[in-house]
Chain A
Amino acid sequence: MSTVYQQRFESLLDGLNAAVQPGEQFTLGYSAEHSQFVRFNHAKVRQAGLVSQASVQLRLVREGRQAEQQITLGDDAELDRQRLHDALAQLRQTLPLLAVDPYLNLDDSNWHSHSLLEQPLPELDEVLALVEREAGDLDLVGIYAAGPICRGFASSFGAFGWHQANSFNFDWSLFHANGQAVKANYAGQAWCGETFAARLRQAREQLAHLGRPAVTLKPGSYRAYLAPAAMDEIAGMLCWGGFSAQALATGNSPLQRLYNGDAQLSPLVSFSEQVSGSLSPAFSDEGSPRRDLLLIGEGRALERLVSARSAVEFGQQANGADSYESPCALSLAPGNLPGEQILERLGTGLYISNLWYLNYSDLPAARMTGLTRFATFWVENGQIQGPVSTMRFDDSLYNLLGNQLEDLSQEREMILSTSTYGQRSTGSSHLPGALVKGLTLTL
């Protein structure tokens, strides 16, 4: 299995190199996965299946014009080659219909990158047996997704990148009879049955806290500790155009005022795009080597994510960002709050494990709203009193990570994306928890 995908990609590349005509340039992206998906409900298998998929994305460039086509690949090398040639022919017919693209900006370097990680994945029987042994008596619901993921890139300039890794992501919740739930996850590239079992047992222990009578809060401002998974939701909102050169240049970024110098965050806040050491490919979808970038340093805006296209349009330097200029490995520097002191330092307030369904209520003000979800507790004098019924917050990032930020935790969590829209994601974030003096609850 290890080299099959790469051989298929290289075979297509060879055919394409032979087919291009003088004056034509191309980039060719590749994406493939063989995935096992098992959904659970009530600790039983609700739905199970296998998905084998692969596609290439061909961009053809000639005389300053460009167009792209994505095609799904099968297992027949000759048929796939024919499909790629059909795509090439269609793009050739399309280019003369287009105007010269003033923002065309090809990376003409011939960089090479190769990463192959093939730790063995568990047999499904082992996973099912562990679920039965450790959680068979619990109301477990969630999904196990596992298998190899491949990303490739090549260009007519000789650039070539390959990224292939086996990975798994078991994302689940345990529900108490009262409807409260605790969320847990075990994901990575090196499976360990004992670690998985320990995570299941840890979640079981947390479930016990949820049996206490629920606390209902009134709207108002509350001290709060946002655990890393909750911070991931907030960080996810910033990934939605926050650092994008295009969004910043066109009034569509929630961090507009920060990058304009009209606002700043707490000096505790340093965000970076930390690609090295992450699970993401070392190259962007546009075919440029990704770079580690310090986006926000000690509360002040620094670099932004600049795609090749934005670089020309807005007169900036491209820095390996994806075409949609969203971080793929966002990292927030740790703070000074030791894990064992979190409840004590919180004192009286909310311990929020997860947030849910965030959106902007006023984007230029970086004001966002969302809800508590899974294992949110009311804490008094450092002691957990009971779970809190779902509450809505509506607050500005300039408060939460600005004047209201008291500290960030020393320990950080590496959170691997569970997204499977279209394909399994390779994105991740590395985040601490945040202790805030005031979080505004509205409903």
Chain B
Amino acid sequence: MFDSSTLLRQRFAALRSTAELFSLRHVKQSQQSLSVRRNVAEPPFFSQDEGAMLTVRVNGVEAYAATADLSQAGLQRALEQAEALARRIKASSLLDLSGQTAPSGRHDHVSPNFEQSLPNLADCLELLAAESASVPRDERLVDWQASLGFSVVEQTYLNSAGAELRHAQRFIYPGLGVTASDGQDSQSRSLGRENFGQQGGFEVVERCGLVGAARWVADEALQLLLAPNTPAGQRDLLLMPDQMMLQIHESIGHPLELDRILGDERNYAGTSFVKAGDFGHLQYGSKLLNVTFDPTIHEELASYSFDDDGTPASKQFLIRDGLLVRPLGGALSQLRSGLDGVANSRACGWNRAPIDRMANLNIEPGEQTLAQLIAGIEHGILMRTNRSWSIDDARNKFQFGCEWGQLIENGELKGVVKNPNYRGISADFWRNLSAVGDRSTFQVLGTPNCGKGEPNQVVQVGHASPACVFRQIDVFGGDA
């Protein structure tokens, strides 16, 4: 771990610059992707990536240069390119960062069980092959795949104010998916994949429940193929954690990103229906809604001690008792807006600059068991596992779809329905939150695929949530 640190430290110390502040963010990442599809192992894929971003501040203007040339000359060249660029854009620059304080201090952050050995490649493939082979023989089961992804990231941030912040993280992404088709309609059921990932060792695979899951996942895909469409109309909606994470992500996370509110993302990811003046005033949801930025749940995907700009991370309430109190904005956005934020300035790698991102964005558990949540619904539907997401550029009008639906009548779970979709408006939806599950319903989930920014970046984000109930939501099915 941190094998490059000594050399980096020496090379950073030898850099020469007239900038008032400069920093180096070195990122080294290795990945391994394994999968078995329809009982045949796909070719394993490995990657090794390493590079550094040099950022300078000259007369209050910042610019960067990213390079994979980590020699002394390569780093010096990148630093000089960044300096020259900062001087060149001075007259056109939107921001004067002269007053922004630079991070300092030293700290290391390491994922839980980071140094625990993982099973070797042959054992991993054997596990996936066994799961794949457990999918029953049924001509309607036309596609299935079991997969494991591992990613190890080591990052070192150094700056001319003396900071040395390092993190070493390992991310694990298990997945299983089965598609059933009758030639006209197709229905898929999955576990993990885009809806699950955690930091840690092989215990993450166990927590996901991958081993032994193929039979029930395949069975549920077949159930969906035979199920009626979700009936259209207003129903109480019980969202399980693997759909809650998407709901949180799209209609709380993105609208609270401060760079969107400041207009940076209007050309691509979009703006926000939330305004800077809403913090401390807007009743975002019902009194049951408590949303936190929480980097302290160790296994969650975006747990860390410092963000990529070097700001120390701590748990903060963004929404407390339904009241909007704090945005998702890093140090720069906080300076620009005058609002208190969180440590969420993040980059996807060495070749992209940090911007405001979601990290771990969670809903705090309430007091009801799942049985109590269901019992409290007279005319409703349970939905689980996201499969479709769409929301407007202000993050207000949304339509989401799930893999699995189950009607609820008079407090009891009833039949399975396919194509469960629902739509609503963020500004109203969370005010209809009527019940929040307790810790027994709470799951730590996340996704590796949150896209944003110009140039584009994909980062992993964590979402932990209990099951939740929303009153009188428009639900509907598909055409098939």
Contacts and interface: CB of A to CB of B under 8 A. Distances in A.
B70 interface: yes
B455 A420 contact: yes
Nearest to A371: B392
B423 A392 contact: yes
A50 B390 CA distance: 33
B479 A71 contact: no
Contacts of A67: 43-46
Interface in A148-206: 171-173, 175, 179, 181, 183
A98 B49 CA distance: 24
B479 A367 contact: yes
B306 to A, nearest CB: 21
Interface string B219-256: 00000000000000000000000000000000000000
A251 B142 contact: yes
B66 interface: yes
Interface in A68-86: 68-76, 83
B392 A101 contact: no
B394 interface: yes
Given A42-B263, A44-B94, A53 B48 contact: no
B6 interface: no
A173 B263 CA distance: 11
Given A39-B264, A50-B82, A392 B399 contact: yes
A102 B37 CA distance: 12
Interface string B61-93: 011111111110010001001100110110111
Nearest to B180: A251
Nearest to A49: B64
A362 B480 contact: yes
A50 B183 CA distance: 50
A49 B263 contact: no
B264 A44 contact: no
Interface string A131-149: 1100000010111010000
B353 A143 contact: no
Contact of A46 (B264, B456, B458): B264
B94 A49 contact: no
B120 to A, nearest CB: 8
B66 A363 contact: no
Nearest to A373: B393
Given A367-B479, A370-B390, A128 B89 contact: yes
Grouping DSSP codes into helix (H, G, I), strand (E, B) and loop, the A interface class, with mixed when no group exceeds half, is: strand
B270 to A, nearest CB: 8
Interface stretch (B153-161, B184-192, B440-448, B460-468): B184-192
B130 interface: no
Contact of A141 (B81, B267, B423, B458): B267
Contact of A369 (B45, B390, B394): B390
A94 B65 contact: no
A124 B85 CA distance: 9
B121 A72 contact: no
A363 to B, nearest CB: 7
B47 A69 contact: yes
Interface string B263-285: 11011101100000000000000
Residue among B45, B48, B421 facing the most chain A CB atoms (10 A cut-off):
B48
Contact of A143 (B74, B451, B454): B454
A51 interface: yes
Nearest to A399: B479
A49 B66 contact: yes
A390 B398 CA distance: 11
A141 B396 CA distance: 21
A285 to B, nearest CB: 12
A97 B123 CA distance: 10
Interface residues of B, number: 86
Grouping DSSP codes into helix (H, G, I), strand (E, B) and loop, the B interface class, with mixed when no group exceeds half, is: mixed
A125 B89 CA distance: 8
B51 A53 contact: yes
A68 B388 CA distance: 31
Interface in B400-418: 401
Interface residues of A, number: 93
Contacts of B180: 251
A262 B184 contact: yes
B162 interface: no
A41 interface: yes
Interface in A355-376: 356-365, 367, 369-371, 373
A59 B454 contact: no
B125 to A, nearest CB: 7
Contacts of B401: 359-361
B95 interface: yes
A396 B479 contact: yes
Residue among B179, B419, B477 facing the most chain A CB atoms (10 A cut-off):
B419
A248 B193 CA distance: 21
Given A48-B63, A371-B397, A72 B68 contact: yes
Given A46-B95, A54-B68, A141 B390 contact: no
Given A73-B68, A103-B40, A251-B181, A41 B264 contact: yes
Contacts of A50: 64-66, 78, 81-82, 85
Given A50-B82, A69-B48, A357-B391, A44 B92 contact: yes
A59 B43 CA distance: 9
Interface string A397-438: 000000000000000000000011100100000000000000
A38 interface: yes
A41 B43 contact: no
A99 interface: yes
A442 to B, nearest CB: 7
Contacts of A373: 270, 392-393
Contact of A51 (B66, B186, B271, B478): B66
B479 A365 contact: yes
Contact of B74 (A75, A94, A98, A125): A75
A198 to B, nearest CB: 20
Contacts of B340: none
Nearest to B399: A369
Contacts of A132: 92
B122 interface: yes
A359 B389 contact: yes
Contacts of B421: 361
B45 A68 contact: yes
Interface in B313-342: none
A372 to B, nearest CB: 8
Contacts of A367: 478-479
Given A101-B41, A251-B186, A72 B48 contact: yes
Given A75-B74, A357-B390, A68 B44 contact: yes
Residue among B89, B95, B451 facing the most chain A CB atoms (10 A cut-off):
B89
B394 A390 contact: yes
Interface of A: 35, 37-42, 44-55, 59, 66-76, 83, 87, 90-91, 94, 97-99, 101-103, 124-125, 128, 131-132, 139, 141-143, 145, 171-173, 175, 179, 181, 183, 249-252, 256-257, 260, 262, 313, 356-365, 367, 369-371, 373, 390, 392, 394, 396, 419-421, 424, 442-443
Given A42-B94, A51-B65, 15 more contacts: A35-B455, A37-B454, A47-B62, A48-B89, A50-B66, A66-B43, A71-B48, A97-B125, A143-B455, A359-B388, A365-B480, A369-B390, A390-B393, A420-B455, A420-B456
Which 4 pairs across A and B sit closest by C-beta, in order of nearness?
A362-B478, A251-B181, A251-B186, A250-B143
25 contacts: A41-B266, A45-B94, A48-B63, A50-B81, A51-B351, A66-B43, A68-B43, A69-B46, A69-B48, A70-B47, A72-B48, A75-B68, A94-B44, A97-B120, A124-B85, A143-B454, A250-B179, A357-B392, A359-B389, A361-B478, A392-B397, A420-B454, A421-B451, A424-B455, A443-B423
Interface of B: 40-41, 43-51, 53, 62-71, 74, 78, 81-82, 85-86, 88-89, 91-95, 120-122, 125, 142-143, 179-181, 183-186, 188, 262-264, 266-268, 270-271, 351-353, 355, 388-394, 396-397, 399, 401, 419, 421, 423, 425, 451, 454-458, 477-480
